[in-house]
Amino acid sequence: MKDYYDILGVDRDATQDEIKKRFRKLARETHPDANPDDPTAESRFRDVAEAYEVLSDTQKRARFDRGEEFGADLFSNFGGLDEILSQFFGGAGGFGFGRAAAPSHRGQDMAVAMDLDLAEAAFGVSREVSFRAPASCSVCSGSGAAEGHTPIPCGTCGGHGQVQTTRNTFLGSMMTVTECPTCRGRGSIVEEPCPNCAGEGRTNEQVELTVEIPPGVDDGTRLRLTGRGGAGAYGSPPGDLYVQVKLLPDPRFERVGSDLHHLVHLGVAEATLGTIVRVPLIEGDDVDVDIPPGTQPGTVFRIGRKGVPHLRRRGRGDLLVNVDVAIPDSLSAEQEDALRTYAELRGEQPLPPRKRRKRR
């Protein structure tokens, strides 16, 4: 047997006021309209309504307290859930959840791909995009009505675009809200449809749009521009536009998140004795980096805040200068002599000179 106190989450000595408050809260939370993606919402909602129906009625509550079973018969003369609900939520279908207009008429989501170079992705850019999509009809401005006519409110649904139907369940009557069959959810009727769009209020057009790319986007970033997709039919809301970012490779940098890596190749003498290297920045300038004597291959020098700005938050990544020491793979006779002298002084034991091949 169901424990109605448990379902409502109230004590057994709860006052009518507490029960009413608790029901109001739970009914809102579990109402199927508020949980369109949750298939269990309706049964939870029914339990809550059933618990309230019993506990809010002092006679039924007393019977329940005595341990009497409540079967379907309890609800056969049930005044109707909708009545209880309208008492709480102001009736007429909406329940205060503001159900959107018929989703079938919402405009299409559109997607465009955008190639950006590293600096554009880092600092943001304003780009023109062009794509074919349903757009608001230029003749009727989206109203769907022919010139000289205006849409009139639908009589069936009173302009709401939705109608309320009541269906009987074992609990009593349950109310559902569906798209108005007369106006197909649009809330108004066009007597003389616009000849350009056949009354839909939209036509396929080449849409030109300026898109502001924020700083910090990366390869694969998908930006959503709410309401910039295809126009909806019959005045329904437009879809969204998705911009898919593709980052063009930059030979100077490898990007890892917000950090940039730049590789420098030092000669043996430079790494050994120290040097100064010019390192490019995405801003466009170069910067001098001091390489101290005795720098080992694989050493990384970090230049703070010269990487890519973070997407939609403050700060930016670092620029990491990775040191590679290039070992010569061929030497002139003079260079080899110098290196052999060096090896001797260091006590190194390189292979003896081979017979000199003719250099090309």
Could you list the residues that contact Zn ion (CB under 5 A)? 137, 139-140, 154, 156-157, 180, 182-183, 194, 196-197
3-state secondary structure string across 312-327: CCCCECCEEEEEEEEC
- Whether the CB-CB separation of 298 and 240 falls below 8 Å is answered with no
Least separation, in Å, of the C-beta of 108 and Zn ion? Answer: 18
Q: How far is the CB of 242 from Zn ion (least distance, A)?
A: 27
- 3-state DSSP helix/strand/coil % of the chain, to nearest 5: 25, 30, 45
Task: Name the minimum Å distance from CB 130 to Zn ion.
Answer: 22
Task: Name the residue nearer to Zn ion (CB basis): 196 or 258.
Answer: 196
Least gap, CB of 33 to Zn ion (angstroms): 19
Cα–Cα–Cα angle for 306, 125, 262, nearest 5°?
30
Q: In the numeric block, which tokens belong to residue 82? A: 């909708």
Smallest distance from Zn ion to CB 180, Å: 3
Nearest distance in Å: CB 161, Zn ion: 6
Which residue, 154 or 241, is less far from Zn ion as judged by CB? 154
CB of 79 or CB of 158, closer to Zn ion: 158
Helix 58-65 to helix 41-55 angle (10° resolution) is 100
Whose structure tokens read 């309230």? 52
Q: How far is the CB of 157 from Zn ion (least distance, A)?
A: 3
Closest distance of CB 184 from Zn ion, Å:
8
The CB-of-233 to Zn ion minimum distance in angstroms stands at 11
Closest residue by Cα to residue 236 from 164, 188, 181, 195? 188
The Cα 301–Cα 262 span in angstroms is: 10
Question: Do 356 and 333 contact (CB within 8 A), yes or no?
Answer: yes
Let me know: does 54 contact 12? Beta carbons within 8 Å. no
Residue whose C-alpha is closest to residue 118's, from 261, 272, 249 = 249
CB atoms near residue 65 (< 10 Å): 13
Instruction: Kindly tell me which of 75 and 234 has the beta carbon lying closer to Zn ion.
Output: 234
Q: Which is nearer to Zn ion, 102 or 243 (CB)?
A: 102
Whole-number Å distance between alpha carbons of 170 and 43:
12
Cα distance between residue 264 and residue 253, in whole Å: 11
* Closest to Zn ion by CB, 72 or 100: 100
Q: Which is nearer to Zn ion, 137 or 213 (CB)?
A: 137
| CA–CA separation, 121 and 319 (whole Å) | 16
CB closer to Zn ion out of 156 and 322: 156
> How many whole angstroms from its chain centre is CA 243?
12
CB of 32 or CB of 201, closer to Zn ion: 201
